[in-house]
Amino acid sequence: MRTCRRIVPRLSLALMVAAAASCASPQSASRPAAATASVDARDLVGVWLVDLRPLPTSEPYVQRFEVTSVDGRTFTGTFYSAAVRDARVNVDWNAVRIAFVTEDASGPYYHSAVLKDGRMEGLSNSSGRDFLAYWSATKDPAPGS
């Protein structure tokens, strides 16, 4: 076990930070665990029923989120009858994570979500209407009806 008590007083701040970091125990390092399971962004494709209720005690308020295609780290679709733009996909953290923008007369809505175990949970931020909304979604079992 090496000691971290002998630090030369004249070290620069950067060297001191590096020295302190090298003294940290492996248990205290906050490195993410390597992905253990494979995820597929193509699981996004389909029609999702998004519950946009404003409060957990409110009645469900359902809107459609349709992902029509996934191509690498991007996707296409519509949400709340608006075209999705600037869509991004990330599968590097053992889940499918997405971010995208829609827009209406009040301005842009910035959305993000994670798809895990067949369920999506997301956030929508509207700077024009000054709110942040939580939402959840499940895939429509009968998308053609």
CATH code assigned at 105:
2.40.128.120
Nearest to 69 by CA among 84, 90, 80, 81: 84
Give the structural domain span for 122. Answer: 41-139
* Cβ atoms of 50 and 64 closer than 8 Å: yes
The verdict on residue 24 lying in a domain is no
Nearest to 70 by CA among 52, 97, 93: 97
The verdict on residue 106 lying in a domain is yes
* Cβ atoms of 86 and 104 closer than 8 Å: no
The verdict on residue 55 lying in a domain is yes
The total of structural domains in the chain comes to 1
Question: Which residues, in sequence order, are CB contacts of 39 under 8 Å at separation 6+?
Answer: 91, 94, 95, 96
What pLDDT was estimated at residue 5? Answer: 45
pLDDT tens across the length of the chain (145 residues): 444 444 434 433 333 334 444 444 444 445 555 545 689 999 999 999 999 999 999 999 999 999 999 999 999 999 999 999 999 999 999 999 999 999 999 999 999 999 999 999 999 999 999 999 999 999 998 877 6
